[in-house]
Structure 1
Amino acid sequence: MAPSKDRQRKLARAKYERQMARRAVRERRRRRILAGVGTGLAVVLVAVGGAWIGGAFDSDRDPTTEAADVCLWSPLDKADNPERTDVGTPPGRDIPQTGTETMTISTNQGAPITVSVDVASSPCAAASFTHLAGKKFYDNTDCHEILDIGAVHCGDPSGTNNGGPLYTFYDENPPALPEPSPSAGAKPAVLYPKGTVTLFGNPAGNNGSQFLIFFKDYAPTTDAPYSIVGRVSGGLDTLAKIGKIPTVADDAGDKVKPKEKITINTLTVGADAAATAAPSASAQS
């Protein structure tokens, strides 16, 4: 047993010496920084240096003690975004990052539309939908546009394209554009097949609550402007019905406003979705 204990002591000592060496380097760096800054900044850096010496940034700390943020939610100023609603922000860490989740959208147009949300590829989008659904953010709101690219536009209670929560987040899962075909007559690739659900950022890449559901294939020719969240797994008949609703000009003169209201009665995610899907379907039959 003695050799084993000696080896353990040597390993512990070596680890301790490595820690002390790293701390000595940090202390020298801290002193050089403090020597070159003004008095005001020095006060701040002293506090940071204290954290260094205390091992706050020690790489040997147990990584399980402090999880890293998975998602970054960028806050918005309500004064600059009057159409947006403050419903807090989703958690930035300890969120699901694997598998799929079920989102159920009950509308006034028929049986519920169910969506398989790709949590593995879009964990932050999934977390945002879950957070907003828990706040009943989408309930009793209208899908205010039917776009000529073959998608219904939902998730903006203001109906202005500027509504949403008081935060934004980045694209996670935009499809990759294929290499240009050498054939002059080649058709562009379908990047958003029928049933695809994407985020809708305004401007692009600044996502919130708005989303698109494609009721026909879409093959963009220049870029892939929408980040994919998941696919419709049920309710395609309802989606097809929505896609046939005629449009009229909106206040801006664009022919995108549905002639018939498309109202989201409820939008639920996860366990709540499973609990509400069956009664919603019977209510719409």
Structure 2
Amino acid sequence: MRLWKRAVAVVLVATAVLVLESWVAHASPALFKNCTYTRTGDGDVRPPYSLAPLLGAVKVTVSTDRGTLELRLDRKNAPCAVHSFTHLALNRYYHETPCRTRAILECGAGQAGFRYPTELTGQEQYRRGVVAVSKDGDGNGGGFFLVHDVHGAPAGTTIIGAVSNGLVLLDQLAADPDRPVRISEVRIG
């Protein structure tokens, strides 16, 4: 009789766990997006893992030889691009790299070693202070840019965030486009 009661208890607990697990899986939104990063053969950085977080913001500090910019990256609309950016920053890809200034401040050292599809919502607005990923052929690569002049911003690029502190510095950099800008470090957090 005891064995029978144990068997029933085990079956009931197992059923409850399966029902609860199924309910949680369907009731909660996804926490990760499966991204496709394709190796290109050039560049030294391996692609990030394919699972990119969908929630939250990433604080980024970009230290240059002309001052510091603080960025806030939003995973909501471009999780794969934000995941790639943070991966490259943590692997020191942007350290000691140049930036070119025109209507945008474009930074990065060329080929990262992988590319991934653009993440466009159809609602992109390239306002002053927007941070976006530079296109690399038919997808995104390792470069990024900060918009200063909205009329010179390239359309069809993935927006990953905005400048949260440092718009005055961005104005100064844009006012002197012939003076080189060099990133010394990009920190996450």
TM-score w.r.t. length of structure 1: 0.53
Aligned ranges 1:1-285 → 2 under 5 Å: 70-78=34-42, 85-93=43-51, 95-110=52-67, 112-143=68-99, 145-147=100-102, 150-155=103-108, 157=109, 163-176=110-123, 191-203=125-137, 205-218=138-151, 224-246=155-177, 259-270=178-189
Q: Which has the higher strand share?
A: 2
Deviation beyond 3 Å, 4+ runs, structure 1: 173-177
Tell me how far apart the structure 2 counterparts of residues 171 and 104 of structure 1 sit (CA, whole Å).
24
Judged with a 3 Å threshold, the aligned counterparts in structure 2 of structure 1 residues 71 and 211 are, in CA distance, closer, same or farther, namely same
TM-score between the two structures when normalised by the length of structure 2: 0.77
CA deviations on 1:157-185 (whole Å, 9 max, x unpaired) are 2xxxxx221110111135437xxxxxxxx
Deviation at 1:69, TM superposition (A): 6.3
- Counterparts in 2 of 1:245 and 1:219: CA distance versus 1, 3 Å: closer
CA distance in 1, matches of 2:121, 2:157: 6
Aligned-pair identity (%): 27
| Ranges in structure 2 where 5+ consecutive residues have no aligned partner | 16-21, 26-30
Deviations 1:65-93 (A, max 9, x none): xx986111011134xxxxxx221111112
Q: Cα distance 1:224–1:264, how it changes in 2: closer, same or farther (>3 A)?
A: same
For structure 1, which runs of at least 5 residues remain unmatched after alignment? 13-59, 79-84, 158-162, 178-190, 247-258, 271-285
The letter for the 2-side match of 1:146 is: T
Q: What letter is aligned with 1:239? A: L
Larger RCO (CA within 8 A; separation ≥ 6): 2
Alignment root-mean-square deviation, CA = 2.9
Greater helix content: 1
- What count of residue pairs does the alignment treat as equivalent? 167
Query: Which has the larger Rg?
Result: 1
